[in-house]
Amino acid sequence: MDATSRSRALYELADIAGRNYVWRALAFYDIRSRYRFSVLGTGWIMISTAVTAVSVGLIYGQFFGMNVTQYLPYFAAGLIVWTFIASALNEASTTLIAAGSLIKGTRVPISLHVMRMLQRNFLIFLHNLVILAVLWLLMPWPLDIGIIASLFGLLLLYVFLVGASVIIAFVCVRYRDVPPMIAAGTQFLFLASPIIWRQEHIQHGAEILAFNPITYFLRIVRDPLLGQSVPLSVWAVAAALTGASAGLATLVYVTYRNRIAYWV
């Protein structure tokens, strides 16, 4: 790749970050248009997640013999964070394929399609946080100033998903057999991550969790929301994963950006 193409790709990345109001507005329009003629509107986002959280939380809480007032907030918080992660990864695998006509017919930066998708799922995540607030009102748990740490965790998760989404989108637009593999992989990660079960309940193979990146991002976002502290080692690994994701995504974008139009 020549220096001009490389510079243009880097300029696109900087420009799309500077003009973030564009993809944020498009993501908001996507959500509004999806529920335009619905009576409850975006309330259906919260209702569907709440039904899953409460039904599964009550059943598995009894199954594990745990106090429902402790297990239900734990599961609901984990499910909300996981839904954001899984939706972003799954939609990233098809977002450039779906935007093929726009990529071929316009000069819109390719990264805009990825950021639009991610921001749309972030807005859904914000809607779902209302569920956790309602649960806290019904069955309050101790909270302190440490809850602010969840904002920093969410920032790290967002940047990590930006990088992961770019990488997945580029790989999937080139190799069309990968999207089904991404869908299968997210199902496995759901079961292999401490969402339904607690990490301290694992008697054998707990060390495998150290190789699951989702575990770290769940902890830095979910645990502060539940009034729990997060070890510095977990923050360090999450920050390292975020940096690696962003760096690799930049390399992939700069290297293969010009080829996307021929792959869609």
Q: Three-class SS string for 155-213?
A: HHHHHHHHHHHHHHHHHHHHCCCHHHHHHHHHHHHHHHCCCCCCHHHCCCCHHHHHHCH
Pick the residue with more confidence: 38 or 183? 183
Overall average pLDDT of the 24-42 stretch = 80
Each residue's pLDDT tens digit, 176-211: 999 999 999 999 999 888 888 887 777 666 667 778
Torsion sign, CA atoms 228, 234, 236, 237: negative
Query: 28-46: buried (b, 16+ CB within 10 Å) or exposed (e) per residue?
Result: eeebeeeeeeeeeeeeebb
- Residue 120 vs residues 36, 116, 124, 193: alpha-carbon distances, Å: 15, 6, 7, 24
Separation between Cα atoms, residue 153 and residue 239, nearest integer Å: 9
pLDDT exceeds cutoff 80 at 37: no
Give this prediction's pTM.
0.92
Overall average pLDDT of the 66-92 stretch = 91
What's the token pair of residue 53?
């959280």
Question: In total, how many domains does the chain have?
Answer: 1
CA 149 to chain centre: 18
- Radius of gyration (C-alpha) of the chain in whole angstroms: 19
Do 71 and 61 contact (CB within 8 A), yes or no? yes
In this predicted structure, what is the pLDDT of residue 206?
67
Domain coverage including residue 21 = 3-31+39-263
Helix, strand, coil in percent for the chain, rounding step 5: 80, 0, 20
The Cβ of residue 10 has, within 10 Å, a number of other Cβ atoms equal to: 14
Task: Give the type of residue at 118.
Answer: L
Each residue's pLDDT tens digit, 239-259: 999 999 999 999 999 999 888
